[in-house]
Amino acid sequence: MKNLLLTTTLAFALTGPSFAAGTHDGGHSNDHAGMAKEMMIGMPGDPAKVTRTIDVSMRETDDGEMLFEPGSLDFLRGETIRFNVINNGELEHEFVIDTMMGNAEHKEAMAKMDMEHDDPNSVRLDPGASGEVVWTFSNFGSFEFACLIPGHYESGMHGPIMVGEQMAQADVEYTTGTIKKIDAKAGKVTIIHGPLVTLDMPAMTMVFRADEEMMAKMYEGQDIEFVADRVKGKLTVTALK
């Protein structure tokens, strides 16, 4: 009898931990040490170190397509990005950033059981709701953002993320200029500037795009040193000092 009791107790001791190994209670809770620290795409960012803010819209079209706006994203390795995500559609959507393989695995799992993510690289929103993801892209390469709710990816809700190598500081050409006008609502700033060497452009007065975080540091009449580049076809201020 003593041997039987001992054997039974040992069996429970060996099988017990499996019940506490993590749950999918309608959510996708993040207890994974790797996720909390760093993934292949990067790691959760420090809100105090955000370098750019990107607005991301999720919606459906009248013909049944589901999409993100913008449809593609480009960053430099080391950037910390705040994604302001808003669901402008009539259905629930989510914004998840990961490798293409990682998204494919999650999409396959969610096809079997729709799980709501609770990870720092994602946000799930009801219609009309907004949220944010703050992320540091610490590795260069090709990645993906997507909505993994069953059927949404197949309806068009995914897009590429390209993360390029950060230029060495010595290779960055700063241009001097003076801010003539700021249109914060349109995200535009007019600058009287010297030659833009990297863009092979002479000194002139031009209108540039700039993100919200950068424009918050600007004021009319301010003398600046800045770097400009073409981002999605638009001349954009990418660095400021």
Q: Which of the listed CATH numbers 3.40.50.10490, 1.10.1060.10, 2.60.40.420, 1.10.150.120 matches domain 36-164?
A: 2.60.40.420
Output the pLDDT for position 166.
60
Query: pLDDT digit of tens for each residue in the chain (241 aa)?
Result: 444 444 444 443 344 433 333 333 344 444 443 444 578 999 999 999 998 899 999 999 999 999 999 999 999 999 999 999 999 999 999 999 999 999 999 888 888 876 666 789 999 999 999 999 999 999 989 999 999 999 999 999 999 999 987 644 445 678 999 999 999 999 999 999 999 987 888 999 999 999 988 898 899 999 999 999 888 778 999 888 8
Domain ranges of the chain: 36-164, 169-240
Output the pLDDT for position 101.
93
Closest CA to 213 of 231, 232, 240, 234: 240
Output the pLDDT for position 117.
62
Q: Evaluate if pTM is beyond 0.85.
A: no
Fold for the domain defined by 169-240: OB fold (Dihydrolipoamide Acetyltransferase, E2P) (2.40.50)
Q: What is the pLDDT of residues 178-217, one digit of tens each?
A: 999 999 999 999 999 999 987 888 999 999 999 988 898 8
Output the pLDDT for position 136.
95
CA distance 108 to 2: 48
Q: For residue 45, give the DSSP letter.
A: P
Output the pLDDT for position 15.
41
Return the exposure string of 184-206: e unless at least 16 CB atoms fall within 10 Å of the residue's CB, then b: eeebebbbebbebeeeeeeeeeb
Contacts 24+ apart (CB under 8 A), 33-36: 35/119, 35/120, 35/121, 36/120
98, 109 in Cβ contact below 8 A? no
